Amino acid sequence: MSELLWQKIGAEQDAYMTIDSKGTPFAGGGLSASLRDLGRIGQLMLNEGEFNNSRIFPKSVVKNIKQGGDKQVFSKAGYKSLSGGSYRSMWWMLHNEHEAFAARGVHGQTIYIDPTANMVIVRFASYPTAKNAQIDPTSLPAYQALAEYLIKQK
């Protein structure tokens, strides 16, 4: 990860991954990184694999992720605040008019990307329970409102 990604985006600090008892990184969570470095990841995704005029990975990777998963299957999970959304490759697709998508931690941590507003938001959080559904009714509209504001400033 250091050679293929972290060094290429000019990360300011080391990142840490939770590992299991055999030393295998837990890819489904457990990444610990600085706010600014997570912002770099968001910018990399916003720019479809390009960072500081350097191609880190093919555009097709992000385009595939942004297609999202099966909306019908996703709807059965009951995420009321993500109605019409989907999940694919560790990213949550909102399928809204801005094509926004996010990486989300269970305690509110977020990398929120809004391509229409050309916006990346990184949020550190430590909500006491693992329930984004309790945070989403305020955070998702706030992200959308910020995106709308930025679009009006253009």
Question: Could you give the dihedral angle defined by the CA atoms of residues 121, 94, 102 and 68, in that order, rounded to the nearest 10 degrees?
Answer: -150
Q: Are 112 and 143 in contact (CB under 8 A)?
A: yes
| pLDDT tens-place string over residues 20-33 | 899 888 877 788 89
pLDDT score for 111? 97
The span from the CA of 141 to the CA of 143, in Å, is: 5
The span from the CA of 83 to the CA of 12, in Å, is: 36
Question: Could you give the dihedral angle defined by the CA atoms of residues 36, 39, 43 and 44, in that order, rounded to the nearest 10 degrees?
Answer: 90
Q: Are 117 and 150 in contact (CB under 8 A)?
A: yes
Give me the half-sphere count of Cα atoms (radius 13 Å) on the Cβ side of residue 153.
10
pLDDT score for 31? 85
Q: What are phi and psi of 48, to 5 degrees?
A: 50, 50
Spatial CA neighbour of 51 closest among 5, 116, 100, 117 = 5
| pLDDT tens-place string over residues 100-152 | 999 998 889 999 999 999 999 999 999 898 888 889 999 999 999 999 999 99
Domains of the chain from N-terminus onward = 2-152 (3.40.710.10)
Q: 92: how many CB neighbours lie within 10 A of its CB?
A: 22
Structure-token match 């709807």, residue found: 75
Q: Residues 27-47, buried b or exposed e (16+ Cβ, 10 A)?
A: eeeebebeeebbbbbbbbbbb
| pLDDT tens-place string over residues 5-15 | 999 999 999 99
